[in-house]
Structure 1
Amino acid sequence: MEIKTLKAREVLDSRGNPTVEVEIELTDGAKARGISPSGASTGEKEAVELRDNDTKRYNGKGVETAVNQLNQEVALEATAVRLESQQDFDHFLIELDGTENKSRLGANAILAASIAYARASAHSKGIPLYRQLIDREGYIMPVPCMNVINGGRHADNNLDFQEFMIAPHNAPSFKESIRMGEEVFHALRTLLKSKGYYTGVGDEGGFAPNLKSNDEAMDVILEAIHKAGYQPGNDISVCIDPATSEMWRNGRYVFYKSDQRSVSSEELIALWDKWIKQYPIVLIEDGLGENDWQGWKKMTAALGSKIELVGDDIFCTNPAIIAEGIKEGIGNSVLIKLNQIGTITETLEAVRLAQEHNYNCFISHRSGETEDTTIADLVVATNAGHIKTGSGCRSERIAKFNQLLRIEEELGNNTSFAGLKTFKV
């Protein structure tokens, strides 16, 4: 179906910063919107967001340039070509941009258009978005890995590690899993408050207290799991994303928010090994930095048979980089972020490549999110088995959980819940 109109506008993300929304109408009247998210802790090789850098507007973060290019150049070209598929549209956008990293049109602009086209195509066919992305017989509902304590660049506190997540996996359904997670989230708030800690939240909805140490974050989470009536490890396990690329300084890792100590790759691997033995950890994302490939090889050899090791900054949802990582034996799982690569088609290619080589895929939001729920449909479409989209509060996070509840209800007996078997343990 051909594009009748393409309209872009500047809207706001969850941090109050501008982002790009695109609305597409097809010639049969089907219409849909897509919005691009934005990250704070970003990989060096991510596709480029196009910002205005005009300090008189939004502190330089405006996206009027991207919007104007969409409304003028892209809209004119898109309505003049015949498109047969999502792949056609996405390749049209990539060729029109003409750069390796999408820096001319901007990955934020390209992704918003790609999502809008996918949604409009689904509406045109009268099918849900997950089926438009991948049509299969049976779908798997994901474990929600909920970011209950924030640190690093996602919070103004003293925790070096960015995300402490709970994974409620011992459940018969997504609906029951999310209930378990929310109960722990609220138990954690009560617990933190009783200890005299701050219970405000960070960028992704997790609590952002000043704790005595990174270890205390783990301890208080386990206490909250018990308080909610569950068994750590049996019912609910823990995942962490320390975002170590942010700690990388001249070949070492600096605990830049706490005691300023510096450690080697080997010492950080030893810390993760100690934590795995001490805590019910099933997943570590970015356990080492994006430029520490030799360290990643050592970490994979030491820990890859014990837990899921997810590469985020090191892979950037880029099929070419993922292929190199697979060849080099880096990790055993890939974080999937739509805006790291910039189109639906390239994202699905990254997922296919990873899954074909027995790597897990961990579908992810960004810290600057919106009400767009595409990743909820994406995690179901790909049968990835686990998703992170923030904590147990903030509507831009809950929107994804609510969409997954709707999808599970719609699928009925044609779905199952991933549970603990989704993790590389």
Structure 2
Amino acid sequence: NNIDVQEFMILPVGAQSVKEGIRWCAEVYTCLKKLLKKDNLSVAVGDEGGFAPNLSGEEEALDLIMAAIIDAGYRPGKDFMISLDVAASEWKGDRKGHYRMPKKNVEMGTDQLISLWEDIVTNYPIFSIEDPLDEEDWEGWKKITAALGDKIRLVGDDLFVTNVARLKKGIDEKCANAILIKPNQIGSVMETIEAVRMAQSQGYIAIMSHRSGETEDTTIADLAVALNTGYIKTGAPCRGERTAKYNQLIRIEEMLTIK
């Protein structure tokens, strides 16, 4: 579509169980689909099950999600928070600290981009922003962490690539405060565990994550529970390769609560 931010996500922070949280998200997802249809917007879905309509900008996407949360009977900021995956490395310009939004064809520097995220955090109930800056813009990451690190989670995906050496650099230089964990990105279960443990020992949250080319394998659901990440990113409640992980989480929860 014509939106530069790669993903918009909802977190059911007010839910009291995994099963309840998944149901809440499915309800909001259904309400969002109805709102898009009402506005004659596309309800075709992308690789990870999210809707991909053409919109006026990121703010309209956020406003639609807020409306869907309310229509489903929930409270933004209380029951649900919102997260962004910017994938700003895709916006990398021709020099360090220079960005160009490819779809809007808007150019800006690091400080301007940080100001954009500050405005969004002020105006919406944002839980986290993933890759708000380029993976090699370490000075920019220091700045945005100093500016927003006490308000939201700043998640390194392209920044850290589940690699303990890059994570250690981020910790030492006070860049980001969360890491996206992709087991098949780093290549082994042991390296995955090492990255999670390093993050958690330094107060960074670890978010277990899928990849775009998914199957119905549910290993990441087991890893999320086993490593106590508290968070998992595995797409919209749409299609089997996404719902398989949610179903596994429900099964695990049921096993752990059997008396």
Report the TM-score when normalising by structure 2.
0.98
Q: Distance in 2 between matches of 1:166 and 1:253?
A: 26
For 2:164 and 2:155, the matched residues in 1 are separated by 15
Partner Cα distance (2:101, 2:164) in 1: 31
Amino acid at match of 1:197: L
- Aligned partner of 1:169 in structure 2 is 13
**Counterpart-to-counterpart distance in 2, 1:177 and 1:413:** 19
Corresponding position: 1:240 with 2:84: yes
Separation (CA, whole Å) in 1 of partners of 2:226 and 2:216: 19
CA shift digits 1:22-62 (9 cap, x unpaired): xxxxxxxxxxxxxxxxxxxxxxxxxxxxxxxxxxxxxxxxx
Using the alignment, how far apart are the partners of 1:194 and 1:379 within structure 2? 37
Q: 1:298 aligns to what?
A: 143
Work out the CA distance in 1 between the residues paired with 2:170 and 2:74. 37
**CA–CA separation in structure 1 for the residues paired with 2:91 and 2:67:** 28
Whole-angstrom CA distance in 1 between matches of 2:247 and 2:140: 39
Alignment of 1:213-232 (within 5 A): 213-232=57-76
- Of 226, 245, 253, 2:99 maps to 253
Q: One-letter code of the match for 1:207?
A: F
Match of residue 249 from structure 2: 404
Q: Which amino acid aligns with 1:367?
A: S
Query: Which residue identity does 2:227 align to in structure 1?
Result: T
Which AA in structure 2 matches 1:180? W
Tell me what 2:219 maps to.
374
**Residues 3-402 of structure 1: matches in 2 within 5 Å?**
157-250=1-94, 251=96, 252-257=98-103, 259-402=104-247
* Cross-structure match for 1:28: none
Secondary structure of 1:211's counterpart equals coil
Q: What residue identity is the alignment partner of 1:407? A: I
Q: 2:16, 2:150 → 1: CA distance?
A: 26
| 3-state secondary structure, aligned to 1:262 | strand
Give 1:394 deviation, angstroms: 1.2
Partners in 2 of 1:277 and 1:324 — Cα distance? 29
The DSSP-based 3-state class of the residue aligned with 1:249 is coil
Q: Distance in 2 between matches of 1:289 and 1:394?
A: 31
Query: Which amino acid in structure 2 is aligned with residue 356 of structure 1?
Result: S
Computed over aligned residues only, the root mean square deviation of the Cα atoms, in angstroms, reads 1.0
Paired with 2:28 and 2:201, the residues of 1 have a C-alpha distance of 35
Q: Distance in 1 between matches of 2:231 and 2:224?
A: 7
TM-score by length of 1: 0.60
Identity %: 55
Which structure has the larger Rg? 1
Give 1:339 deviation, angstroms.
1.4
Q: Distance in 1 between matches of 2:110 and 2:32?
A: 32
Q: Distance in 2 between matches of 1:332 and 1:380?
A: 20
Higher relative contact order (CA 8 A, sep 6+): 1
Provide the residue aligned with 1:151 in structure 2. none
Gaps of 5+ in 2: none
Write out per-residue CA displacement over residues 134-158 of structure 1, whole angstroms, 9 at most, x where no aligned residue.
Answer: xxxxxxxxxxxxxxxxxxxxxxx10
- Any gaps of 5 or more consecutive residues in structure 1? 1-156, 415-425
Q: Secondary structure at the match of 1:313?
A: coil
Write the distance in 1 (CA, Å) between the matches of 2:25 and 2:5. 21
Give the Cα separation in 1 of the matches to 2:183 and 2:199. 15
Q: CA deviation at 1:413?
A: 6.5
